[in-house]
Amino acid sequence: MTVVLKGDNHKFELCTAYWGPRAQREPSDPSLALGTPEYETSENFWRYRALVLPSDESAMIALGVDPQLIKESLVEGEAYLRA
């Protein structure tokens, strides 16, 4: 089981928990630098595994997700899910 916690002054907030292998860090993770191999691995992983995207494109961009790249990777007739 993977559990991700955010800690602050001996208090912890549960960010996520799930069964299965550890996923790649999200592109919005502040420890990832844009353009690095680690960022590219993360972006490639989440491009095909993300389940829900923000409801507007500016929020997607703020998370480091390029809406145009997502649209370009779709097969004709496909649409990406939006919250």
Q: What is the pLDDT of residue 51?
A: 57
User: What pLDDT is attached to residue 79?
Assistant: 65
What's the structural domain count of the chain?
1
The reply to whether 15 falls in a domain is no
1 within a domain of the structure (yes/no)? no
Domain assignment of residue 40, given as a range: 22-83
Identity at 7, one-letter amino acid code:
G
User: What pLDDT is recorded for position 17?
Assistant: 79
Residue 35 CA to residue 22 CA, distance in Å, equals: 22
Which stretches in the chain have pLDDT values below 70? 50-53, 55, 75, 78-83
3-state secondary structure of 41: helix
Residue 65 burial class via C-beta count within 10 angstroms: exposed 0-12, middle 13-18, buried 19 and up: buried
Count of Cβ atoms closer than 10 Å to residue 48 Cβ: 7
Is residue 78 domain-resident?
A: yes
Q: Identify the pLDDT of residue 83.
A: 37
In a domain, 13, yes or no: no
Question: So what's the pLDDT on residue 38?
Answer: 93
